[in-house]
Amino acid sequence: MDILLLAISISLDSFGIGMSYGLKKIKVKILSFLIIIGISVFFFIASFGIGQFFLLFISTYKMKIIGSLLLIGFGGVLFVQTIWHKHYAQLTNPISIRKWRIKSLNIMIDIIQEPISSDLDQSGSIDSLEALYIGMALALDTVIIGLSASAHSISLGWFILALVIMNTIFLKLGTYVGAKSSIFFSETTLKLLSSSIILILGIIKLF
Phi, psi of 96 (to 5 degrees): -95, 150
Higher pLDDT: 131 or 80? It is 80
Mean pLDDT over residues 42-61, rounded?
85
pLDDT computed for residue 100 by the predictor = 42
Report the half-sphere exposure of 60 (CA within 13 A, side-chain side): 3
- List, in sequence order, every residue forming a beta bridge with 148; answer none if it has no partner: none
Distances (CA, A) of 31 to 108, 130, 132, 143, 184: 19, 11, 11, 23, 26
- Please report how many Cα atoms fall inside a 13 Å half-sphere around the Cα of residue 48, on the Cβ side: 18
CA atoms within a 13 Å half-sphere pointing along the CA-CB vector of 202 = 25
Q: Taking residues 150-179, report their average pLDDT.
A: 83
Task: Give burial (CB, 10 Å; 0-12/13-18/19+) of 82.
Answer: buried
Q: In DSSP terms, which residues pair with 164 in a beta bridge?
A: none
pLDDT tier, 117 (very low <50, low <70, confident <90, very high otherwise): very low
pTM beyond 0.75: the answer is no
What pLDDT was estimated at residue 115? 46
* Alpha-carbon span 74 to 63, nearest angstrom: 16
pLDDT band of residue 125 (cuts 50, 70, 90) is: low
Checking if the pLDDT of 121 tops 80, the result is: no
Could you tell me how far CA 174 lies from the centroid of its own chain? Answer: 14
The b/e string for 188-201 (b: 16+ C-beta within 10 A; e otherwise) is: bebbbbbbbbbbeb
CB-CB contact of 69 with 204 (8 Å): no
% of residues, the chain, pLDDT over 90:
1
Q: Which pLDDT value is given to residue 89?
A: 58
Question: pLDDT-based confidence at 30, cuts 50/70/90?
Answer: confident
If one compares 124 and 2, the residue with the highest pLDDT of the two is 2
According to the model, what pLDDT value does residue 99 have? 45
> For residues 14 and 36, is the Cβ–Cβ distance under 8 A?
yes
- The larger pLDDT score, comparing residue 206 to residue 108, is at 206
Which range of 49-58, 82-91, 139-148 scores highest in mean pLDDT? It is: 49-58
Residues 150-177, mean pLDDT to the nearest whole number: 84
Asked which of 4-18, 58-72, 80-94 is least confident by mean pLDDT, the reply is 80-94
What's the chain's average pLDDT? Answer: 72
Looking at residue 170, its pLDDT comes to 86
Say what the pLDDT of residue 107 is. Answer: 41
Look at residue 137 in the predicted model and tell me its pLDDT: 66
